[in-house]
Amino acid sequence: MRFVLAGLLPGLMLLSLLLNACGGGHGPGAPTPSADAAPLFPVEQEDRWGYIDTTGTVVIPLRFERAWPFSEGRALVRLGGRYGYIDPAGRLVIEPQFTDAWHFSEGLAPVEVDGRWGFIDTTGAVVVNPRFELAPGLLEEDPYEPRDLDLVRRDGRYGYATPDGRLVIEPHYDQAWYFSGGLARVRIDGKWGYIDRQGRVVIAPQFDQAWDFSHGLALVRLGDRYGYINRQGAFVWGPTT
């Protein structure tokens, strides 16, 4: 038994995801829930998806074929091979009807109908009729995290610098990623951990795979076991197999 968080794949993978026949709303980074809703996180057990809160409690039952993070009060889900949207109470507010879809941003979401992309609003009303081969905006960088520190590479090692080139964190990581939620995931000697913006190790490298923090939680993998950790590195859900 395992679970996986959706929506935390690097932006460079977006094109291959879009070309994947299974498709389906794989947004870059973890979209931000609406301000009036408590953060919810998609999880999977035995091929069914639902949502937990920051304590690891299941608040939306695991009944979906696939589920993604909330954005603007809506979360993309798949049922019966089609994509639709739920609200934070788990209610289907836009029935599964699309062959592919994306998360909401600024009140609109790209959806695919018969091989063409258009846009709907949060009520499900069509704002732009499906006519694009690829919806505008699907390949943009994650808009949710400011890029005040850029990744730099020197002698095969990664560090961080300001946009004007001032080195802030020396390049000594095997691999690294952008900051999310105030922490960045870095790899040392084949294991992933997290640092803060001063380069201090906050969570020691110990994971075989790690994803960005979003609303205080991050997905990690230990061997074939997945779990969510908090900013102190403690598991709030899992790890489970």
Give the residue extent of every domain in the chain. 11-132, 150-240
pLDDT tens-digit readout, 207-218: 999 988 877 888
Interatomic CA distance for residues 221 and 135, integer angstroms: 32
**CATH fold label, 150-240:** Thrombin, subunit H (2.40.10)
pLDDT tens-digit readout, 22-64: 334 443 333 334 444 678 999 988 899 999 999 999 999 999 9
Q: Which residue is associated with the tokens 């931000």?
A: 32
Ramachandran angles phi, psi of 17, nearest 5°? -65, -40
The pLDDT assigned to 84 comes to 98
Please list the ranges in the chain whose pLDDT falls under 70: 1-37, 132-147, 164, 240-241
The pLDDT assigned to 24 comes to 40
The pLDDT assigned to 232 comes to 94
Q: Which residue is associated with the tokens 């969510």?
A: 228
